[in-house]
Amino acid sequence: MEVMEPKFANIDDVINQTFDYVVVGGGVYYYVSFVNQIIPDHPSFPQVSGCVLASRLSEKSDIRVILLEAGKGRTNDPLIDTPCGGARGYQLGNSEYDWAFQTAPQKNLNGRSMVWNRGKGLGGSSNLNQLAWTRPGPAEIDSWEKLGNAGWSYKDIIPYIQKVENFQTPPSADIVKSKLLAENQHWFGKNGPISLAYCEVLTGLDGVLRTPLGDYTGFWSCPSTMDPEKLERCTAFKGYIQPNLDRKNLFVLPEAYVTKLIWKNDSKPDANEEITAEGVQFVFGGKIFMIHAAKEVLLTAGIIRSALKSPQILELSGIGSSNVLNPLGIPVLVDLPGVGENLQDHYCANTITFELDPTGPHRTLDVLFDPVEYEKQDGFYKQKQRGLLSYTNTDVLFPSLQLISPNAENIIALHEKVLANLITTMDADSDMFKGLKERLDIQLERLKDHNFPHFAIFFIPSFMDFPNMPIPDKMYLSVLIILAGTWSIGSAHISSMDPLKSPNLDGNVLEYQIELDALTEVFKFARQLKDCEPLKSIIIKEVAPGEKILTDEQIHGRVSDTSGTASMLPREKRGVVDPSLRNYKRSSMRSFDFSVARKCTF
């Protein structure tokens, strides 16, 4: 049966038009189903995307909604649809799929710049992520409420996370056994738009570590955001927008790059006066257009955990720190120093890759490097038969620092002294102090908790030491290490009035010694796994990084997953939005992407 291409809006249908809601950015879904005050009686959640907002708002036929997305709207694209899409050719670094933001040189990485990969197009980073469906735990979500955001506790949010989920119970007892699935399937929602399923392709390496380590730590196999019948990735676009494109009141315009917000009164307001957003300016086909909002402009341009574009749009629109805007000649409408600040991320250490015994009862994705085997697997996939191209890897170990390192207590004690000295050097009455002190206290409490996961360790049945290539006919297992609880805070600010120029991104990576110490310890732990069963029996040797990384100083790693640049905090703590996601001193405009999430780890 021929698949019908979705019908997007035409530029002539939308220019100079007025819509009830203008939604900027069509990125990832992450846990959101409802919007407070816009759709009454349902709380909102900071990881909401434009796809979710546009879908939910347009459920009411008398509400006109337009969704503007800077990237393309892609359908039936094998690079997106195929769960093991990397085997077909990587999206990462491909400008058609990936924004590939480049950071400023990082002083703690010997001046090295990094690339932050972020999905480009309708669906955002749900088009190119690992498909692993994870949730923050109670302590992490409750932190938002502790920082002054009433109504944002774990018990408040979980019911709405479940409304996103459409969990598919595995039909095979072997899958349940190999993945160590929980008996209580009610933990997941079953009626949402995002399909969740466990991969039904077994490699023999599933669940290589199976030890329960506590209530909140240990090994887990996450479900994947995929349709188990179609064997396709389920993106925010597929779940929320594509089924609803026939709505007469929903307009979706890809390749519309929003450059600034339009204010009802573009003069600087009085001290107690709000300014009102009445529309946006955007570039389409090389030309500048405007559309208007009768009710609100909803800014969701900070794709999942990137939060990189929303502050750029705010600053170009006159909302931000006068120290940033004045030198560029941008009139300051609201002097809000928190815009572009509070950027946080997860650090990823270099992957460790082991060579496996080829005679063992396992198989790996490395066979896909063989053109003959690839064609065989591709044939399976095209016939909707399960094979390596429908494989997803979501096996992850969540350990604490205390579990993986005998040096944990000394490292924590030293870090606590550093923090105490830092606090004594700050002005206790300053806005920066108020927000920083509360955040550091919460993080230190978590760090001391031996049952709190400080790392995520993924086990990937494939060679991962790129740009090097695997040796033909060899099999590999790679271990990917992520520091989930980071301390350093960076920033994302404009450096030019050119809206098409990427913002100046500074992750301020490894600003705290605890981060480097923790990465060093978990790297050593992961490296030693080859000497422990069950891995000891199947690993021949470590092939990467090998002797290239031996000393503590050589263990730094890559960096990913930014958040926090338009923080949901009280304004006096350098926040940008309040608990209803309204931007301070701006009416008819809210931020709904992950830029509002201040310190939600993993």
Rounded to 5 degrees, φ, ψ at 109 are: -120, 35
* CA 122, 126, 127, 128 torsion-angle sign: positive
Q: For 424-453, how does the pLDDT look when each residue is reduced to its tens digit (9 = 90+)?
A: 887 777 766 777 788 888 889 999 999 889
Q: Can you list the residues of the chain whose pLDDT is less than 70?
A: 1-5, 29-48, 85-89, 171-185, 206-216, 266-272, 302-307, 349-350, 431-432, 556-602
Tokens standing for residue 545: 């990084």
Structure tokens at 462: 């494939």
Three-state SS string across 310-346, please?
Answer: HHHHHHHCCEECHHHHHHHCCCCCEECCCCCCCEEEE
Query: Which residues 6+ apart lie within 8 Å of 70 measured at CB?
Result: 25, 120, 255, 256, 257, 258, 301, 309
Give the pLDDT score at 225.
93
Residue 48: what residue type? V
Q: Is 258 annotated as a binding residue?
A: yes
Neighbours of 13 (CB within 10 A): 11
DSSP H stretches of helix in 392-512:
401-404, 408-424, 431-448
Token reading at 472: 């033909």
C-alpha to C-alpha distances, 175 to 133, 154, 201, 518, nearest whole angstrom: 17, 30, 8, 34
What pTM, to 2 d.p., does this model score? 0.85
How buried is 501 (Cβ within 10 angstroms: 0-12 exposed, 13-18 middle, 19+ buried)? exposed
Decide: 534 and 208 in contact? Cβ < 8 Å. Answer: yes
Residue 184's Cβ-count burial label (10 Å; 0-12, 13-18, 19+) is exposed
The answer to whether the beta carbons of residues 574 and 342 sit under 8 Å apart is yes
Q: In angstroms, rounded to a whole number, what is the distance separating the alpha carbons of residues 520 and 582?
A: 40
Place of tokens 């207590």: 409
- In sequence order, what are the residues at sequence separation of 6 or more whose Cβ sits closer than 8 angstroms to the Cβ of residue 134? 222, 396, 602
Q: How far apart are CA 456 and CA 272, in angstroms?
A: 46
455: its two tokens: 């790392």
What phi and psi, each to the nearest 5 degrees, are found at residue 434?
-60, -45
HEC secondary structure over 350-401 = EEEEEEECCCCCCCCHHHHHCHHHHHHHHHHHHCCCCCHHHCCCCEEEECCH
CA distance 498 to 109: 29
Q: What is the pLDDT of residue 275?
A: 85
Instruction: Tell me the C-alpha to C-alpha distance, in Å, between residue 95 and each of 57, 72, 99, 125, 240.
Output: 31, 11, 6, 13, 24
DSSP, collapsed to helix, strand or coil, labels residue 349 as: strand
Strand 334-335 versus strand 319-320 pairing type: parallel
Take residue 340 and report the two structure tokens written for it. 């572009």
- pLDDT for res 4: 56
Q: Cα 21 from chain centroid?
A: 25
